[in-house]
């Protein structure tokens, strides 16, 4: 085989490998991803056994600790409190977690309950880079 031909073959092989790997990556990212939903969306469309990324604010007076389990309800950011999702969570609780804060937590529907995945709770910290202190005051 002449060198030019050999190079072309090599290039084609390398490119096909890259394409195959990239497609595998892209495929798995879609199948492994958890959809991000608001509490009202979650209540409407949650299927048991799938995990969802729940985003919303922690409902006031809903936080209670029961041994290692932290119970709290997540409500829509700007919605009624009627569409709150009760979450039973175990694992690390970030420092900024408190009532009225925006949180992101991975949950799975188990029967009528929503169980938070261990150590998946993220709190959006409201004071870093915030635009105006007024927004925080409205939240809390």
Stretch that binds another protein, among 73-81, 84-92, 107-115 (CB under 8 A): 84-92
Is residue 29 within the footprint of another protein (CB under 8 A)? yes
Smallest gap, in angstroms, from Cβ of residue 114 to another protein?
17
Is residue 133 within the footprint of another protein (CB under 8 A)? yes
Smallest gap, in angstroms, from Cβ of residue 5 to another protein?
13
Opening angle at CA 27, ends 12 and 34, nearest 5: 155
Is residue 99 within the footprint of another protein (CB under 8 A)? no
Is residue 16 within the footprint of another protein (CB under 8 A)? no
State the Rg of the chain over Cα.
22
* Chain-centre distance for alpha carbon 61: 23
- Interacting residue with another protein among 12, 20, 33, 60 (CB under 8 A): 33
The span from the CA of 19 to the CA of 36, in Å, is 28
The span from the CA of 77 to the CA of 121, in Å, is 17
């Amino acid at each position: 085989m002449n060198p030019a031909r050999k190079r072309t073959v090599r290039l084609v092989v390398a490119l096909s490998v890259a394409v195959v790997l990239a497609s595998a990556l892209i495929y798995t990212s879609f199948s492994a991803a958890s959809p991000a939903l608001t509490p009202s969306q979650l209540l409407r469309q949650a299927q048991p056994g799938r995990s969802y990324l729940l985003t919303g604010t922690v409902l006031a007076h809903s936080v209670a600790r029961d041994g290692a389990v932290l119970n709290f309800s997540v409500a829509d950011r700007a919605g009624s409190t009627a569409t709150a999702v009760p979450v039973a969570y175990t694992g690390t609780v970030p420092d900024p977690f408190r009532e009225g804060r925006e949180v992101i937590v991975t949950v799975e529907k188990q029967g009528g309950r929503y169980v938070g995945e261990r150590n998946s709770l993220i709190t959006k910290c409201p004071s870093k880079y915030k635009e105006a202190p007024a927004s925080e005051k409205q939240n809390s």
